[in-house]
Structure 1
């Protein structure tokens, strides 16, 4: 069952150190078919599909800045047979303590018509969704995907649902043929989810549901997932996919009331980001979406980020008694 749930905006911060599961920008692949003529067989980079034609799964160049990208064209109907999802196994096993799953990617919205989602989803060994993120062709918004237990229903049934913002500064519709950088996190210990688009981060604060903890991904998919009442084809794409395991080095002792005493702006940022703090700053570090430390030197209260690529970053700010991290978007 495919469900869509509305929500309000929540901001969270997570510090990330990474063990890479997947890092795919598709530039090493050959232009043309991503999957082979025989559905279910392994294609380029071990991707496989179960529905449609090979022409529905293509490695293409949409623009020079992105190089190769993975492009998907869904069927004209609204059944599972009209989904166009390319799957790949996840073989990396998390090191002890790496209990947070992070993902980042760029979504190309394509012709954004009909009813469906261009998405990335992670699955457990039972092929049930754990976490994902996508772009809804109908609402034109970035949506989160997660597994929740409905504690108000008999037996506390679980379902993999779609979360869509209905309010807040991130309630943004993205036009056709637009690249949108997005990311997500899932904490295996607590079950907490977070999804991020260029306008901010959100989760689903509903007391009638509980996120399911302890889930381990063994497979992921990229592609176009149709929803009810769809009657058209959509062609959209995904690029720069990074999936990682991270640890929980940002503990409760490192996050205090001083979180609100430190601010960064503007966000998104193009050239210089300003850091405002009520306490003396001892050090600043910046990490990209894969957990790699990148250059970032504080000069007075500004950091030059001109050289950073577009995407989502974490800035870690250490004062005398505290260490916090905040997300920012380089545009």
Structure 2
């Protein structure tokens, strides 16, 4: 977990809110945060070198002890059609293409689907500078096998931007999330050319898709365009039946025995 510590302060903004922040922090190349050093339930509490934007009309976020993915704490972004943003620490490699962001998310059990947005913000003092990279639909009420989401960040993102999760206030649902990680994709290195030779066909496909070589593949994950894990297949064969998927765009990530991975966009007709 990130250990950059500095004095906490609150800054009033002209756009009806305030941002909980810390002093100057050294950018990092990776982080893994489970929020377990923080405790419930003050508004706007985030780890050192993170930020939390709180709107005066009630948009907020707390650290909650309610059913986290990894005990004892997780983030809770309050619903009630209120906007809030949790901003991640500064990164040295936000647009390098070598890393991705992943986290686990859920909504209050029994709620209608919730909606968060993964993106970035270029000015933590100005909520209007948030840019959406990927909308996230969340239907699961517990941290289950669909709760993990994985997102790539395009090279077009400004180098000084900060990754962020926004509750856009489009629903009354409360959103929980945990185990936030910025990590290497593990798809680069001496065997990258071998990974690039890996093929998925036919693409588009109808029900069955074929992987050209599965000898070094440990498992495969299928995610939808919102980053939700749809299916995990351990020790896959060369032909994978995906007839249960609806028509649309998906991503198939192969995880290899040497720790590397490769993601392909696939289209179900």
TM-score, normalised relative to structure 1: 0.45
Task: Go from structure 1 to structure 2 and tell me whether the alpha carbon gap of 1:120 and 1:266 turns closer, same or farther (over 3 Å shift).
Answer: closer
In the alignment, is residue 60 of structure 1 matched against residue 64 of structure 2?
A: yes
In the alignment, the residues of structure 2 paired with residue 114 and residue 64 of structure 1 have an alpha-carbon distance, to the nearest angstrom, of: 20
Which runs of structure 2 are paired with 1:252-331 in the superposition (5 Å)?
254-256=195-197, 260-263=211-214, 268=231, 273-276=234-237, 315-316=255-256, 325-326=261-262
- Corresponding position of 1:47: 51
Residues paired across the two proteins, number: 192
| Contact 1:75–1:84, Cα closer than 8 Å, also in 2 | no
Task: Go from structure 1 to structure 2 and tell me whether the alpha carbon gap of 1:55 and 1:130 turns closer, same or farther (over 3 Å shift).
Answer: closer
In the alignment, is residue 135 of structure 1 matched against residue 103 of structure 2?
A: no
Which runs of structure 2 are paired with 1:152-167 in the superposition (5 Å)?
none
In the alignment, the residues of structure 2 paired with residue 313 and residue 31 of structure 1 have an alpha-carbon distance, to the nearest angstrom, of: 36
TM-score, normalised relative to structure 2: 0.54
In the alignment, the residues of structure 1 paired with residue 114 and residue 68 of structure 2 have an alpha-carbon distance, to the nearest angstrom, of: 27
**Among 140, 159, 173, the residue aligned to 1:234:** 173
| Contact 1:101–1:244, Cα closer than 8 Å, also in 2 | yes
Q: Which moved more, 1:67-76 or 1:218-227?
A: 218-227
Task: Go from structure 1 to structure 2 and tell me whether the alpha carbon gap of 1:85 and 1:214 turns closer, same or farther (over 3 Å shift).
Answer: closer
Task: Go from structure 1 to structure 2 and tell me whether the alpha carbon gap of 1:218 and 1:110 turns closer, same or farther (over 3 Å shift).
Answer: same
Root-mean-square deviation (CA, aligned residues, Å) is 4.2
In the alignment, the residues of structure 2 paired with residue 123 and residue 49 of structure 1 have an alpha-carbon distance, to the nearest angstrom, of: 11
**Among 114, 120, 123, the residue aligned to 1:122:** 120
In the alignment, the residues of structure 2 paired with residue 133 and residue 248 of structure 1 have an alpha-carbon distance, to the nearest angstrom, of: 27
Gapped regions of structure 1 (runs ≥ 5): 1-18, 37-42, 77-81, 137-173, 189-212, 278-311
| Contact 1:72–1:224, Cα closer than 8 Å, also in 2 | yes
- Could you tell me how far 1:131 is from its partner in structure 2? 2.6
Task: Go from structure 1 to structure 2 and tell me whether the alpha carbon gap of 1:217 and 1:313 turns closer, same or farther (over 3 Å shift).
Answer: farther
The residue matched to 1:226 in structure 2 has which SS? coil
- Corresponding position of 1:74: 79
- Could you tell me how far 1:235 is from its partner in structure 2? 1.1
The residue matched to 2:159 in structure 1 has which SS? coil
| Contact 2:117–2:136, Cα closer than 8 Å, also in 1 | yes
Task: Go from structure 1 to structure 2 and tell me whether the alpha carbon gap of 1:226 and 1:217 turns closer, same or farther (over 3 Å shift).
Answer: farther
In the alignment, the residues of structure 2 paired with residue 122 and residue 112 of structure 1 have an alpha-carbon distance, to the nearest angstrom, of: 30
In the alignment, the residues of structure 2 paired with residue 256 and residue 237 of structure 1 have an alpha-carbon distance, to the nearest angstrom, of: 39
Task: Go from structure 1 to structure 2 and tell me whether the alpha carbon gap of 1:223 and 1:112 turns closer, same or farther (over 3 Å shift).
Answer: farther
- Corresponding position of 1:33: 42
Task: Go from structure 1 to structure 2 and tell me whether the alpha carbon gap of 1:244 and 1:237 turns closer, same or farther (over 3 Å shift).
Answer: same
TM-superposition CA deviations, 1:201-249 (whole Å, max 9, x none): xxxxxxxxxxxx354352233342123xx5xx22111100012466854
TM-superposition CA deviations, 1:159-199 (whole Å, max 9, x none): xxxxxxxxxxxxxxx344454111011341xxxxxxxxxxx
Structure with larger RCO (C-alpha < 8 A, sep 6+): 1
In the alignment, the residues of structure 2 paired with residue 110 and residue 23 of structure 1 have an alpha-carbon distance, to the nearest angstrom, of: 24
**Among 123, 131, 148, the residue aligned to 1:181:** 148
In the alignment, the residues of structure 2 paired with residue 218 and residue 256 of structure 1 have an alpha-carbon distance, to the nearest angstrom, of: 33
- Could you tell me how far 1:135 is from its partner in structure 2? 2.0
- Corresponding position of 1:39: none
